[in-house]
Each structure stands twice: as C-alpha cells, then as structure tokens.
Amino acid sequence: MKEIIEKLRQSFIGDLAKADSSAQVNELRISYLGKKGSVTDLLKQLKDIKGSEKKTVAEGINALKSFVESEIAAKTALIAKREEDAAIEATERYDVTMPSAERLGSLHPVTIIQREVEEIFESMGFTIEDYSEIVTDYQCFESLNIPKHHPARDMQDTYYIENGQLLKTHTSAAQNAIMRKYGAPLRAVFPSRCFRNEATDASHENTFFQMEGIMIDENISISNLIYFMKSMLSEVFRKDINVRLRPGFFPFVEPGFELDISCLICGGDGCPTCKQSGWLELCPCGMIHPNVLTAGGIDTEKYTGFAFGLGLTRLVMMKYGIKDIRMLNSGSLDALSQFTSK
C-alpha cells in the first residue's frame, strides 16, 4: 500500500507540473480529490485493511490528501495571478501623469500672488501659517480687543453658524492662536479666505482673501513695519514702491494706520484710478495693542510687535489690472486663464 501511495504522489506531481490553466488544475483536483478521484479511491480501500497496518496506511493517505490539496491551492493562486496580469497587459493602458491633450489647468491668480508673497516673507524669516476658516467669537473679536457690542463689529457683517462659531471675517482672527502656538519672538504670515455678508459689486465680494502678518520681538517699532512692507511691495511689483502711512482706527492696534502705495498707473502724478491723489490704499496695519498681546500670552513689558492685514484680493486686482472683483470667484476659465499663463 505504501508504494501505491508514493506512486500516486509522483503521478500527481507530474500531472500538476503539466497543468497550465485554472481549468486544467480544476480537472486535476476532480481526478484526485473528487468523489471518484484516485485519492478518494484509496481512502475507500481502507476498510479492507485489517489490524495494525490500517493506522499507518490511513496516515499515509491523509498526508497525501493534504499534500494534493495544498499544492492545488498554491498552483490555482499562481495561475490566477498570471491570468490577471495577462488580462491587464491585454487592456489599453493609461498614463495618468500625461498632460491632457485638451486644456491644461492653471493656478488661480490669487494663488499665484499668494505664493509669491509667501516666498518673499519666507525669505525675510517669516513662517507661513494656515488656520481654520471657521473660528470662535473669541478668536475673531474678543481676543482682538473687540468686545461684544463694540461698534467695530458693525464693520464686519458676520456669517454665524448654528453652533455659535462663525466664518472668519478677517485673517486677524488667527493672531491669538498663532501667538499662543509660538510665543515671542515671532514672525508669521497667515493667508486665508475671509467672509462678510456684503452686497456684491465691482469692488465688493462676500468671499475674499487677506494675508495677515505679525512680527513680535524686543524693540519692534513702526520703522520695522515700514521697512518690511516696503521691501515686500517692491518685490511683488518688481519696482521701488513708495509708501505712506495715514492714521487709521482698528481696536487691535495702537497706533493704527492705513498704508498707501504710490499709484501704479500714474506713478503718483494723479489719475482716475487713484482719484487724482497719487496714492492707493492697500494695507491697514499698526503696532499690536497690549491687550491683544496679553490675550496671546505675550509679555508686554518685554515685547512689542506690528501687524498688518494685506488685502490679497485687492493686491491681485492691482497687479493684474482687474476691474471687477467678481471675476475672481466666477470660475470662468476664459476670464481667469488670461492671467495664469505661468
């Protein structure tokens, strides 16, 4: 009996080597393990064997059965993989990294300018921060020295959401969190989309971009503010830009300013764009109010700082000469792609 089992094993090994498709392996399975299969047949013969030999023979046949089962399973898996590979090979292949033959996408003008300004500030040692568009009342107002019922809130008609949080009306809303995250000294810029319930027209949108910046250290003064703004704007416009400061009121800075740049169209001589003044309003800014520093956990005995809220959307419009702000959110590729050839 031992020889019969061994012979069957050898013939199975030979047959398996020849089986080359899943159908053939299946036939093999039936011919060895099926109801009338040769291994099954051997098992049936067991009943005729008597005495002590029966146990050894039974073990031998069962070992053969397990061997056949596991070899068939392995070969089935191998063939399935090979057949799958062949099927993939036979179908048409797509290179998902190939540029489209149709129309190439491009960056939005705001993205282009945002990245450019980020790079400039990065080269001046500023970190670039990202922050949520949904913030708390505390972050957007209270921590910025704008208590409840302060009239400054009326300037920013706010979208509240049901849980009491709100869509940030200005990037200043991230100041507190960023001060708390890093402490002083600190140089950071943080761009974001902002939202206000505005009636839209050529120069007003309910969704627009700002880029806030803060610099906090020992002995920071207005001269530092002017220096950084001038350097940044000269880089963005690739020419020397004159700036001037006018007083401006914002509860979170003291003193506060409106920063104007010399008109890009007429160079400061006066034209319709600058309403004959020679200046364009671009960026409110100021020295951070001690209450705001304290709320951010900064020691006001030791540190001072400046902050600015660059109107990124406004900057984009100036840089590209865009007359209607609504175009930027229009999603119209025809309109937007004029500016995005790079």
Task: Name the residues that contact ligand DAH, by CB under 6 A.
Answer: 170, 172, 212, 250, 253, 256, 284-286, 307-309
Name, in order, each residue with C-beta under 8 angstroms of 272's C-beta and a sequence gap of 6 or more.
none
Whole-number minimum distance, CB 254 to ligand DAH, in Å? 10
Cβ at position 111, least distance to ligand DAH in Å = 20
Place of tokens 């019969």: 4
CB of 301 to ligand DAH, least distance (A): 21
The nearer residue to ligand DAH, 256 or 296, going by C-beta atoms, is 256
CB proximity list for 150: less than 8 A, separation 6 or greater: 141, 251
Question: Are the CB atoms for 207 and 199 separated by under 8 Å?
Answer: no
Reported residue count of the chain is: 342
Which of 39/285 has CB closer to ligand DAH? 285
Give the pair of three-digit tokens for residue 85: 């590979």
Strands 127-128 and 134-135: unpaired
Based on CB atoms, which residue is closest to ligand DAH, 129 or 212? 212
The three-class DSSP label of residue 5 is helix
CB of residue 175 to ligand DAH, shortest distance in Å:
7
> What is the closest distance, in whole angstroms, from the C-beta atom of residue 217 to ligand DAH in the complex?
16
Instruction: Name the residue among 19, 65, 17 with its Cα closest to residue 41.
Output: 65
Judged by beta carbon, residue 303 or residue 308, the one nearer ligand DAH is 308
Helices (H), 208-287: 222-237
Q: Least distance from C-beta 314 to ligand DAH, angstroms?
A: 11
Q: Which is nearer to ligand DAH, 245 or 263 (CB)?
A: 245
Closest residue to ligand DAH in the complex (CB):
309
Burial 40-68 (b: 16+ CB within 10 A, else e): eebeeeeeeeeeeeeeebeebbeebbeeb
Residue with Cβ nearer ligand DAH (151 or 331): 151
Place of tokens 């900064």: 298
Nearer to ligand DAH, 60 or 255 (CB): 255
Q: DSSP characters for 169-206?
A: SSGGGGHHHHHHHH-SSEEEEEEEEEE--PPPBTTB-S
d(CA 314, CA 311): 5
Report phi then psi at 115, rounded to 5: -65, -40
Cβ atoms 328, 313 nearer than 8 A: yes
Nearer to ligand DAH, 284 or 296 (CB): 284
Residue 164: CB minimum distance to ligand DAH, A: 21
The answer to whether 194 and 209 have CB atoms below 8 angstroms apart is: yes
Using the minimum distance from each CB to ligand DAH, give the nearer residue, 25 or 216: 216
